[in-house]
Amino acid sequence: MIRVLIVDDSLVQSELLKSLLESDAEIHVVGVARNGEEGVKQALALKPDLITMDIRMPGLDGFEATRRIMQDQPTPIVVVSSSVQTPDLQITFNAIKAGALDVIEKPSIATGGNYEAIRERLITTVKAMAEVKVIRRRPVRPLGSPTYSPPTQISRQPIAVVAMGASTGGPAALNTVLKSLPRDFPAPIVIVQHMAAGFIQGLIQWLQIESNLPIKLAQHRQTVQPGEVYVAPDDQHLYFASRGTLAVNTDPPVSHVRPSATVLFNSVAAVYGAAAAGVILTGMGEDGASGLEAMHRHGAVTFAQDEATCVIYGMPRVAANLGAVDQLLSIDSIGAALVAVTRSPE
């Protein structure tokens, strides 16, 4: 039985959430907190397996409540939000940075035809996230910049593009990587991040706060530029139609997801061959693994986030098992690795 604590100031929303969660026989709601302060107290007292966290609440908001819980009683937290307004999105992604695992759309009676799909995503996410082993988050003194020592390699082509794929835990991982890259990073970066509908633009705005590089929502027939970052839009596959030109489509999901990192990686393998670097980050499932293997087979440099720093070591594990990964690296080392491999050979 998965024991869940709901933190939400709306009586109607919390009762709806409770009803949806308990429609699954494996989930039991052990408490409902009406604000962040009460949520922190109940997390300590009840020690639930998982917490669903609202964002905008009187007094202590979802970010501050998440930060305190992750310091005092580390617990898997899923942000449940209905808002795509900029201030609330800022709080949402700050909560993820503080240790929340994922963000999903808040169910609503007004959801209409998507109601059952949202219910299924809610239950699936809660079951998966309840299994994650979270760690205590204490404020720490910043360390020096991570370094990366590439293995001895034969001569290679210059890297013309970097492709990245991420799912659960990806926003915080992407933030760590992107903020470590210099303003003069010499290649375009193209990203697929699995995200609840309506939150991608907020993710881009949040990532931009700490990134030295401009981050954009990818567009159909867009020409990529060195030192710019392009993120796949909601519910559309992103791929390279030709060298330097992105495209999107609504073809069927691949590995049960759209956008799919495998679609992006396969296109990079076909268009760029060895003149590319591929990165697969934390996430559930297997998306991106076969695509990274295609990149590896075509001579690209490939990295994956290691198990120790992944929220969920799913996608990287499958990629590693396929022999698609040149190196498994901690999330703090991936940025330095990308700088090293994109540096012009001397």
* CA nearest neighbour of 56 among 121, 113, 8: 8
Q: Tens digits of per-residue pLDDT, 210-255?
A: 999 999 999 999 999 999 999 999 999 999 999 999 999 999 999 9
Provide the pLDDT for residue 197: 83
- Domain 2-129 in CATH 3.40.50.2300? The answer is yes
Q: What is the pLDDT of residues 167-203, one digit of tens each?
A: 999 999 999 999 999 999 999 999 999 998 889 999 9
Residue 154: band (very low, low, confident or very high) from pLDDT cuts 50, 70, 90:
very low
d(CA 16, CA 196): 19
Is residue 152 scored above 80 in pLDDT?
A: no
- What's the topology of domain 161-342? Rossmann fold (3.40.50)
Dist. CA 171–CA 29, nearest whole Å = 27
Q: Which pLDDT band, with edges at 50, 70 and 90, does 117 fall under?
A: confident
Choosing from 194, 237, 296, 298, which is the catalytic residue? 194
Say yes or no to pLDDT of 85 above 90: no
- pLDDT confidence of residue 140: 44
Query: pTM of the prediction?
Result: 0.90
Domain boundaries, the chain: 2-129, 161-342
pLDDT band at 108 (very low <50, low <70, confident <90, very high): confident
- Using alpha carbons, select from 285, 292, 281, 284 the residue that is nearest to residue 319: 292
Mean pLDDT of 37-41: 97
Tell me which of 8, 61, 287, 306 is the catalytic residue. 287
Most confident listed range (81-90, 102-111, 337-346) = 337-346
Among the listed residues 14, 167, 180, 255, the single catalytic one is: 167
Q: Are 2-129 and 161-342 equal in CATH topology? A: yes
In this predicted structure, the answer to whether residue 93 has a pLDDT above a threshold of 60 is: yes
User: pLDDT per residue over 2-34, tens digit each?
Assistant: 999 999 999 999 999 999 999 999 999 999 999
In the block, which residue shows the tokens 């530029």?
225
Per the annotation, the verdict on 88 as an active-site residue is no
260 has catalytic annotation: no
Mean pLDDT over each residue of the chain, to the nearest integer: 91
Q: What is the DSSP code string of 212-252?
A: SS-EEE--TTPBP-TT-EEEPPTT-EEEEEETTEEEEE-PP
Q: Does the annotation count 194 as an active-site position? A: yes
